[in-house]
Amino acid sequence: MATRNNTNARLRATLAILADQDQSGDGVAPSDLMSRAVAEVPFDDKEAELLSGGVPRGFKALTTATSKLVKAGWLVKGRSGWTATEEGVRAVRAFPDADRFATAMLTGEPVPEQPLEVEHAPQSPEQLSEEAQFTPTEDPTPPDAAVDLDVTAAEDSAGDEAWLDQPQSVALSGDFDPILGEAGHWSTDTRELQLSYEADENLWRQTLQLPAGTYQYKILVNGSWDENYGRFGVRNGANHELHLLSDSAVTFRFDYSTKDITTS
């Protein structure tokens, strides 16, 4: 199975494990969750290679790729553990094929209420040629919406070092009540406030449409106040402040190497 197929399969396995926990309402610790996903889809030789920090290449790719599940609204990284959202549980049932699952995750395709019907059983990736594995036989997205299913390709282009020290999640937390109501008031797990990792820039980024006003906020790492950063990248420091004279689209960029944030 190709590396990207492996990562897609592990992402789906991650959400499937959480979906099984859904009835209990308990979160799953990230380390336990990742280990169980890897046990279901073992590393190939390339993924088992250790990066300079001693972390397997495939493990780092998976933990970073989980931010895509958060951005899709299928996963919440909370302080007590990770949980699947209701839509995430439906996505696991609706998209049994890993690459189809990844396509829906990346494109924001609505999750059907009922699982999709499959007229013919698809061939397993092992039965396909390498070219067939990398070229979908049917593109479910419009022609102008190119989708990159290779969630690990950025790792090689950005270099190993860019991935070593990145956290599992980064989020804004502050007085974002004007756009999110009570859910936006200094929350730790609001989906709209989760930043996405951009490997080409080695930065975490999110854009919000904000009404005019003054906002105070901090950066939360790994969904917890245990590691938070304020003004000038100071841990547990003073709140960042943002003053808007008019309604604006604001892009937040967080550099984990400096622990500071910029807005534009």
Q: Is 199 a residue whose pLDDT tops 70?
A: yes
The mean-pLDDT minimum among 31-35, 147-151, 256-260 falls in: 147-151
Domains of the chain: 3-158 (no CATH), 169-263 (2.60.40.10)
* Stated pTM of the model: 0.55
**Average pLDDT score over residue span 215-236:** 91
Place of tokens 């008019």: 246
Would you state the pLDDT for residue 189? 80
pLDDT of the residue at 203: 86
Look over the chain and give the mean of its residue pLDDT values, rounded to a whole number.
78
Give the per-residue pLDDT at 22: 62
| pLDDT tens for each residue of 140-195 | 444 343 344 444 444 444 444 555 567 878 899 999 999 988 888 998 888 889 88
Cβ-count burial 134-163 (b if 16+ within 10 Å, e if not): eeeeeeeeeeeeebebbbbebbeeeebebb
DSSP 153: H
Q: How far apart are CA 174 and CA 7, in angstroms?
A: 33
- Model confidence band, residue 82 (pLDDT cutoffs 50, 70, 90): confident
DSSP 10-61: HHHHHHHHHHHTTTTT--B-HHHHHHHHHHHS---HHHH-B-TTS-BHHHHH
- What is the CA 202 to chain-centroid distance, rounded? 15
Angle (CA) 91-223-160 rounded to 5° is 85
- Packing angle between helix 57-72 and helix 30-40, nearest 10 degrees? 110
pLDDT at 62 over 70: yes
pLDDT of residue 95: 93
CA dihedral (158, 97, 59, 74) positive or negative: positive
Helix (H) and strand (E) counts in the chain:
10, 10
Q: Which of 32-41, 167-176, 245-254 has the highest mean pLDDT?
A: 245-254
pLDDT above 90 for 80: no
> What integer pLDDT is reported at residue 115 of this predicted model?
60
- Higher pLDDT pick, 164 / 91: 91
Band (4; pLDDT cuts 50, 70, 90): low
Contact 77, 85 (CB under 8 A): no
Is the pLDDT score of 202 beyond 90? Answer: no
169: left (phi over 0), alpha (psi -120 to 50) or beta: beta
- 254 or 33, which is more confident: 254
pLDDT confidence of residue 213? 92
Average pLDDT of 95-124?
Answer: 75
90: pLDDT confidence band, cut at 50, 70 and 90? very high
For residue 256, give both structure tokens. 């984990």
Please list, in sequence order, all residues whose beta carbon lies within 8 angstroms of the beta carbon of residue 75, skipping any fewer than 6 positions away.
14, 15, 18, 66, 69, 82, 83, 84, 85, 88
